[in-house]
Amino acid sequence: MTGRLWGIGVGPGDPELLTVKAHRLIEQAGTVAWFAARGRPSNARAAAARHIRPRQPELPLYYPVTTELPAGAEYEELLAGFYDEAAERIATVLDGGEDVAVLCEGDPFFYGSYMYLHNRLAGRYESEVVPGVTSLLAGAAVLGVPLVCRNETLSVLSGVLSRDELERHLVDVEAAVVMKLGRNLAKVRASVAAAGLLDRAWYVELATLPAQRVLPLAEADSSGAPYFSMVIIPSAEASTR
Ligand SMILES: C[S@@+](CC[C@H](N)C(=O)[O-])C[C@H]1O[C@@H](n2cnc3c(N)ncnc32)[C@H](O)[C@@H]1O
């Protein structure tokens, strides 16, 4: 009997936003795996820490890079090799008959690294994905402004895109969220301004965590932002109806 693979969404940071099912499977797992940048704590593990049993075996998976870069052959190859190796380390545990819970910030299938393990392992092992409260929705909740209504379209963009690509997408949006802000903040703000949306745009940092900050994007310090930050542009209609 091989073990089961569980991709567990742990929510945006507030430990109370982890689902009952996530809590049950984390406690039940033979091994708990999580991603982190080397030398930094794992955000997913921090959100789930209170559910990890004392002495429960853990499997840290340290990224080979500390910031996400625009797509390029060398970068893609480096990451593919890392995910291949991480998948095989998990496969070894599953082959030993133990269930593995992989912790994921927010939701596993929404820009989550778990998906790369899932693509490599779900065909070989019984697997289940436990959805989590995604940061996008946590961000809108802490902003306290409705995001999108009726027949409107919500656009989700990555801040890693070039300034031109961002602006091209933003000119037509009804409501938008720009993820992966961090060192892309100044570029994203310039694109939002060029698309004529700066007066509707909000900067949300560390949503649901004690150090959470929410301010108009125009007032955000453009020298940089933490990894856990995003821009939210709520629909003009949803916020006034
Ligand atoms: C690789 S994506 C992972 C998204 C995650 N799977 C989810 O469902 O939210 C990481 C990005 O999510 C956003 N993010 C995650 N947690 C956040 C939080 N608590 N506050 C603000 N942004 C957050 C940031 O834009 C960050 O760069």
At 70-95, the pLDDT tens digits run: 667 788 888 999 999 999 999 999 99
- Ligand 1 nearest-atom number relative to CA 227: 27
Cα(11)–Cα(215) distance, integer angstroms = 22
Q: What is the mean pLDDT of residues 216-226?
A: 89
Distances (CA, A) of 173 to 94, 100, 146, 157: 44, 40, 15, 11
Using the 8-state DSSP alphabet, how is residue 11 labeled? B
Distance from the CA of 177 to the center of ligand 1, in angstroms? 11
Consecutive H or E run containing 104: strand 100-104
- Ligand 1 nearest-atom number relative to CA 180: 27
DSSP SS3 for 145 = coil
Distance from the CA of 105 to the center of ligand 1, in angstroms? 7
Residue 70, pLDDT score: 63
Q: Is 174 in the pocket of ligand 1 (CB under 6 A)?
A: no
Q: Is 143 in the pocket of ligand 1 (CB under 6 A)?
A: no
Q: Is residue 152 within 8 Å of residue 238, measured between CB atoms?
A: yes
For residue 132, give the nearest of 13, 5, 2, 1 by alpha carbon: 13
pLDDT band at residue 69, thresholds of 50, 70 and 90?
A: low
H runs (alpha helix) in the chain: 20-28, 43-48, 73-95, 114-121, 135-143, 163-170, 185-194
The reply to whether the predicted model has a pTM over 0.75 is: yes
Average pLDDT, the chain: 95
Q: Which domains can be identified in the chain, with CATH numbers?
A: 5-130 (3.40.1010.10), 135-233 (3.30.950.10)
Q: Is 111 in the pocket of ligand 1 (CB under 6 A)?
A: yes
Q: Is residue 7 within 8 Å of residue 119, measured between CB atoms?
A: no
At 1-53, the pLDDT tens digits run: 999 999 999 999 999 999 999 999 999 999 999 999 988 899 999 999 999 99
Tell me the β-bridge partners of 103.
Answer: 8, 34
